[in-house]
Structure 1
């Protein structure tokens, strides 16, 4: 259900000091690609991944996802690093050939850049895969990039969003984070960011610093300004 956003006009409205974008499920419809990769890995390991375990992985760092997978398969003895390396090799193949923008995401990113509002990419995905994705996203579209293997604590910990804000030299409370998952939304909210939540694969509960929409289609600068007003 889309939460009503207050009407906003760009002129006279306070725009965010920066916009902090999640990647998987937010800019790209890539959670479906992770579904493919994780199912392939589960079969490679001799089992099948349950839906409940898959939902728990959304927005989680790679090592935790591998622990969840191994437990789901009844194989906690398996090596997290080996499974993670296998999955990343498979995901690199999928990222090279099958990345698709989510509705409205490319247009929103372009509008933010045209307005010269600083941007960061804040993702739990590791740098080697993010580098592949940036060939489609456009490296020039981000003033900072924070990857899952570049922080001590990944999402849902606030560190990724705190680091992104620090790299841009802005207060997290003056930014808008754009997220799709429970873990990512919790990370941004804990960092103090107002969050525009556009769920992809699983519902995200309401919260005091969260504005929900069903899609980024039609979202532009007025809607981002309205997010700041809605959580003030």
Structure 2
């Protein structure tokens, strides 16, 4: 912890250091645990209390929160609790596994989701959906969407490639199988598409989109 003189940039001149966020303001600022109020740069999105950040000061005492630092292994990927749902009766993951992570670069969000079905997994009714860490920005044409890649594995017996789609202004991503997979037309994945799902089957999807 710096003393009062050490925290005053007019004493030591322009400087930068590390700080921990205590509170997040509604005016684009954060307040650190030692009382510094700093305006966020446009690279520091979705601030949270507890973030370890780089802050820098001008010679006249204006503070800027430049960016959030990585933690743990230093990876920029952050895990989040994705939720698997359907457009009808809810599925149950049971003893299956679902993992999801994202990384931010400005307002660009990259997401990776992986799921393995278990012996007690049930698949509900309707089309599969997975939640995203942030809501997508609204495109000029609201019926437009972002697209990514998707792949399903039928317990190693067969593989089906497809696309995933995120509708403008939404926070749910869905997968679509091409006409070359099971079924005569391109349509969203469900309990029987792109194959009938069972224990040991798995899927992965990757998507890049602009956050709101």
TM-score tier by shorter-chain length is under 0.3
Higher helix fraction (1 or 2): 1
More strand as a share of residues: 2
Which gives a bigger RCO, structure 1 or 2 (Cα 8 Å, sep 6+)? 1
Normalised TM-score (structure 1): 0.26
